[in-house]
Amino acid sequence: MDIADLINLDTIIPDMKATSKKQILQELANKAEKVLDRPSHEIVDVLVERERLGTTGVGHGVAIPHGKIPGLDRLYGIFARLNQPVDYDSLDGEPVDLIFMLLAPEAAGADHLKALAKVSRLLRDKSTCEKLRGSEGGDAIHAILTSTSKNSNAA
């Protein structure tokens, strides 16, 4: 699985304006509603429930909120870069500004875990995160995410 299988230009938010974790999750759900044709409240509920188990703020300014949505046909990703870092209750206590939401079908099982691992590896790379933070617009973000992902497959 490639990052390009999860995201496209329509699922990138290059300049999200949010001031709280709750608002971030709502904005991501609003975007997902358009892509998945699912009510945003259903998506928010899944994300909030997952956050109750433990934060998805993995550190170094990165969060990977995720959950399983009944009836999805495949895995979906939505990437957002915040215009200002926001407190996200991250493991390292640092605010986040790069967020990759992953939504999976209920029966995704191993595919969901593989996709989470792939996104986590990608966003653990400091160079990739610096490029994402310094890029201009959704096209550039998409190119960074998908080309870096392909390069990591070859390694």
Residue 35 phi/psi, 5° resolution? -80, -40
One-letter amino acid identity for 56?
Answer: T
Given 41, 60, 66, 112, which residue is catalytic?
Answer: 66
Distance CA 11, CA 21 (A): 19
Give the list of residues 6+ apart from residue 85 with CB closer than 8 angstroms, or none.
61, 94, 95, 96, 97
66 is a catalytic site residue = yes
Q: Are 32 and 40 in contact (CB under 8 A)?
A: yes
Active-site annotation, residues: 66
